Amino acid sequence: MNADKPNLPKTVGVWNRLEPPRIINSKYIFKYMNGAGELYLGYRFRHLEVLDYTSADQGNILVELYFMESPDDSFGLLSLDWGGEPVSFDGAPAAISNQYFTASSRALYGGGLMRLWSDDIYARIMAERETPASKEAILALGKTIAAGAQYPPEPTLVKLLPLEIDAVWKLRGDRLSFFRSHLVLNSIYYLSHENILDLDLSAEAVSAPYEHISGSGNQKRSQFLLVQYENPERARQALNHFHDAYLPELKKEITVDNASLFKLEDGWLAYKLLGKYIAIVFECPDPESAKVILQKNESNLLKKGEGS
């Protein structure tokens, strides 16, 4: 049990909390979720606390508190879906504010469900039946969970991605996700049923599409992926594995100075090894676009002293 866990009320509106909360660890999370626990185990999951609020005639409210190893992990869970109405609590910013990434929120509500990032806790609060009263109760519970939070910034890796590239490509912040697991990556952008990038809980990765800024209705989109490993050797091994599995019929060209470019059926793919990082861009309309997206992201890494 976390000594800093939120002290949720015994009653909220007409809902009463059942005692005691259910405590679920990694061993039993699949049973609780009917096999869907990989999403949470793909981050550094510690345990889950489930609280049930019941009422006589208003349906139930379920509160799930996922205690993670760090705020980066709880941010990652929220980042998998930016849909919903941003929610602001007293003293808490509705939007994550820094000069790099401003599209996301710490709490989102829609359809009777609130999802919330609060320090190392990721919370889900769900009403069995959405009504004005249940929404008010959910907002009150969310405010209690967020009370006393330090509001840490999003993961450093997220802040490395440029929002715009040469006034031509714009980052889709509402499609940006932070993760560590290849299973989570496949839910964002499918590569393979195997772990061809050697991702594990020691790695950090961020992926988002860049959209071409143009006046025409023909929207072009390229998917960008940046992965950080423990050291440069792990990164090199992972890039070798990726090429052998994803581009088996194409000659391997891992160089220090230049990006490696490949023409595929869905567009151009380019990758580059950047010290302990791998940068990959998929589905580019032309090789020049692939190179400029990689170059700008590499420049951001070097500017912050992260490219070694």
Q: Please report, for residues 113, 158, 160, 222, the alpha-carbon distance to residue 171 in angstroms, rounded to integers and kept in the order given.
A: 27, 11, 12, 10
Residue 145 has a pLDDT of 93
Contact (Cβ atoms closer than 8 angstroms) between residue 237 and residue 195: no
Counted residue by residue, the chain has a size of 308
Residue 213: CB atoms within 10 Å:
14
Q: Which residue has the tokens 């910013």?
A: 93
Task: From 67, 89, 70, 64, select the one nearest 1 (Cα to Cα).
Answer: 67
Ordered by where they begin, the domains of the chain are 11-146 (no CATH), 156-303 (3.40.1000)
Q: What is the CA radius of gyration of the chain?
A: 21
What are 274's strand-pairing partners? Answer: 277
Q: What is the mean pLDDT of each run of 10 residues along the chain (308 residues)?
A: 74 95 94 86 96 95 97 95 86 47 71 95 96 96 88 88 92 94 95 97 97 73 97 97 95 73 94 96 94 94 68
